[in-house]
Amino acid sequence: MDLVSPVIDILTRLWDCTAQCRGYICHYEQNLRSLNSAMKNLQSLKEHIERKVEHQVQQNCYLKCAERVEIWLANVNEINNQVIGILERGDAEAQNKCFGGCCPWNCRSRYNLGKEMFLMTNDVGDLNKQFMDLGSLTDRIPRPPVDEIPMENTVGIDSIYSQLWSCFQNRKDISTQVIGLFGMGGVGKTTLLKKINNNFLHESTGYFHVVIWVVVSKQVNLSKIQEVIREKLRIGDGIWKSKINEHERAVEILKILKQKRFVLLLDDLWEPINLVDVGVPLGYTNGSRIVFTTRKEEVCGHMNAHKRFRVECLSTEASLDLFRLKVGEDVLNSHHEIPKLAEIVVQECKGLPLALVTLGGTMANWRTPEEWRREIKVLQSYPFEIAGMDDLVFHKLRYSYDSLSDNTLKNCFLYCSIFPEDHNIMIDELIELWIGEGFLDRFDDIYDARNHGESIIGRLKFASLLETGEYTNIVKMHDVLRDMALKLASEKENKILMQERCGSSKPLGFFRWKDVKRISLWGPDIVFYGETPTFPGLLTFLVKNTRLKRFSSTFFQSMNALKVLDLSYNKDLTELPVSIGELINLHHLNLSYTNLKVFPIEIKNLTQLRILLLDDTKNLEAIPTGLILSLSLLEVFSRLLPTTANVLPYDQSLSDIALLQELECLENISDISLTLSTFGSVLKFKASSKLQCCIKRLTIMCSELETLYISSSTMKRMEHLDTLSIRDCHSLR
């Protein structure tokens, strides 16, 4: 009995030790079902995880599946493939039985499969447990320092791009933080800024930590600007939402940007913005850069730009390259005449990239010279009817016009379109036309009106609606802006009729123009015969540089509203009709550089006249006595003679003196320009304090003059004098 107990104990222990091994065989089918069930549960969990990850990524493009989750999903896929193989073999083994299905056919094979299923079930369970430790299913994608912005190939901006890019390469220049790019609409400012942005993609030094692109647009919204910066800096939603106003958000942005060397690119500023209110650090010398684009140069000043770059229109060569790129070589090569016609289209665009791109896309549809000539004719006469010009070009340029702060600025801008294409507009002439039209009527003093006119020109230049000419006394208007201005004027019932170099000597049909407000006719081809036009609402009538010799006697009798009449530079014009006396509302009369011989007495009826210009009317006889005196509202009088003018005889001195006396008696006169060609007129001028106070330009051309002394008190009175010319005074010692 003593021996049996130990043996039983040993056998019991051996039996217990082999229980798990026996289970591989005895519980084979149960283990098969358990593995299948566990794997299905794990597969369902995997699909659930994949759906959640996909949803989170779709909701937030800055998220991606976490690397630990990707590993877990890969392990699930791998074990699933293994389980599928085991289950297939396990099902086949389960069918191999003997003794009426009571025993396995091959105990060793069943044992091995049973053990494999048991271990695989544990592995499946382990993956289920690992899921509990995964935590967040997604991670934020590390954002690159700069986001690429889509853009087309650039042409002709390499020079200014190199200048601008050098501001980023010069790391030692820590004082240049704010840079302004300004220029007219459609000139390529945004394209240049995009090129700068995208070039940081290839910047390998990593000097700048982050490049932020913000489109500001016309209606400034600080909250939107802050939101764009927030997204780029990856400020979390929780932190951001806890900031209840713009100031608190600015503090959060400032806290992060102060720790970075950043580039902030602000596109399309219409008005200055306070970057401090946004949260952008200013005045730090860590090399950060802020670059903005604007149509208004004055914004550069308000934004305290350390450097400013004017973005100019393209050169003729670059314009042609850009246009050819948009049209396509297949179209240009479709007929030998088309390349020459393409040059005509390019010339009409005057280097404006927006117009070149738009017209290039339009002209790409035409492959015959006839079609190109037809489109060119429309472009030259009615450019807004060309496909894309109105909605793509004029619409964009009009933002600059709409942003002008008052109607005076808008009217003055539209008025500039009365000049021919590519014309050098004299600033003094333009301002006097504005005064004549009444745009500056709120100023009683002519000099105050002129100062305000110069301020308007400055503001139009700052808005990139006018350009500085070759000389400081000249401005120019881009031809595409001029086309837009003519269109806007017609929309506002201020229609301007502009005709120049028409290439035809046919008489003009005035009857078609009775509703226009302003007429501007230039060039030797302008012809009109014995018509009596009816223009009841006409305000400005310019006829210049023609071969006209005279007007019909009744020509001006139906222009009662006319304020401005400019007949200057008609060098064949010898006489004026008596109907000029019908212009009772005329404010501005310019007869300079004409060949008039007689000054019509009827001009004395022009009692509203404020400006009378008679420069270089060397053949004009004496102005009738009393005529100037009848022009009681006259403020500006000018009669300067050229150097080639004949010196008047002594007996003419009396009429010269009479003219000076009449000017002296005018209460409102304040601006006089004169040529004194007789000794008596010089003495009269020296004796008149009133004339000295009003003189603006003075030419003394008197052969009898032996001495000329101008006292300091006289010079003091001539405070408005800006030009003094003394010539042909051969006796002067």
Residue-wise pLDDT tens digits, 478-507: 888 888 898 888 877 668 888 775 545 555
- 486 SS3 class: helix
pLDDT given at position 440: 92
Q: Which amino acid would we find at residue 167?
A: C
Q: Which amino acid would we find at residue 699?
A: T
Partnered with residue 309 across adjacent β-strands are: 181
HSE (CB half, 13 Å, CA atoms) of 199? 17
* Whole-angstrom Cα Rg for the chain: 44
* Average confidence (pLDDT) over 29-57: 82
- H or E element at residue 167: helix 158-169
- The residue with tokens 């000139």 is 187
pLDDT given at position 94: 57
d(CA 411, CA 316): 31
Of 22-31, 85-94, 238-247, 690-699, where does the model show the most confidence? Answer: 690-699
pLDDT given at position 449: 93
**What number does CATH give the domain 158-310?**
3.40.50.300
pLDDT given at position 310: 93
pLDDT given at position 679: 80
pLDDT given at position 121: 79
With both helix axes pointing from N to C terminus, report the angle between 446-462 and 407-415 in degrees, rounded to the nearest 10.
80
Q: Where are the domains of the chain?
A: 16-140, 158-310, 316-391, 404-476, 640-733
DSSP state of 394: I
Lowest mean pLDDT of 45-54, 211-220, 511-520, 542-551, name the range.
Answer: 511-520
For 560-617, what is each residue's pLDDT tens digit? 999 999 999 999 999 999 999 999 999 999 999 999 999 999 999 999 999 999 999 9
Q: What tokens appear for 531 in the block?
A: 């018509």
- Scanning 557-678, the segments in alpha helix (DSSP H) are 627-630, 653-665
**Cβ-contact 531, 507 below 8 angstroms:** yes
pLDDT given at position 647: 47
* Average confidence (pLDDT) over 703-710: 73
Q: What angle do CA 573, 578, 584 make, to 5 degrees?
A: 110
* Average confidence (pLDDT) over 69-81: 86
pLDDT given at position 611: 96
Lowest mean pLDDT of 104-118, 217-231, 303-317, 630-644, name the range.
Answer: 104-118
pLDDT given at position 506: 56
With both helix axes pointing from N to C terminus, report the angle between 107-131 and 19-26 in degrees, rounded to the nearest 10.
100
Neighbours of 381 (CB within 10 A): 8
pLDDT given at position 316: 92
Lowest mean pLDDT of 129-133, 140-144, 218-222, 618-622, name the range.
Answer: 140-144
**Cβ-contact 632, 609 below 8 angstroms:** no
Distances (CA, A) of 27 to 11, 89, 98, 123: 22, 16, 17, 18
Q: What angle do CA 330, 333, 335 make, to 5 degrees?
A: 125
* Average confidence (pLDDT) over 352-378: 88
**Cβ-contact 126, 39 below 8 angstroms:** no
The DSSP string of 502-531 is -S--PPP-GGGGTT-SEEEEESTT----S-
* Average confidence (pLDDT) over 716-720: 89
d(CA 580, CA 43): 100
pTM: 0.73
pLDDT given at position 142: 67
Of 315-329, 389-403, 488-502, where does the model show the most confidence? Answer: 315-329
- Answer whether residue 32 shows pLDDT above 90: no
- Answer whether residue 526 shows pLDDT above 90: no
Average per-residue pLDDT in the chain? Answer: 84
Three-state secondary structure readout of 621-632? CCCCCCHHHHCC
**Cβ-contact 656, 678 below 8 angstroms:** yes
Residues 238, 242, 246, 252: is their CA dihedral positive or negative? negative
pLDDT given at position 138: 79
Distances (CA, A) of 173 to 209, 256, 552: 18, 23, 70
pLDDT given at position 144: 77
Of 3-12, 13-22, 33-42, 538-547, where does the model show the most confidence? Answer: 538-547
Confidence class of residue 21 from pLDDT cuts 50, 70 and 90?
low
- 275 SS3 class: helix
**Cβ-contact 563, 588 below 8 angstroms:** yes
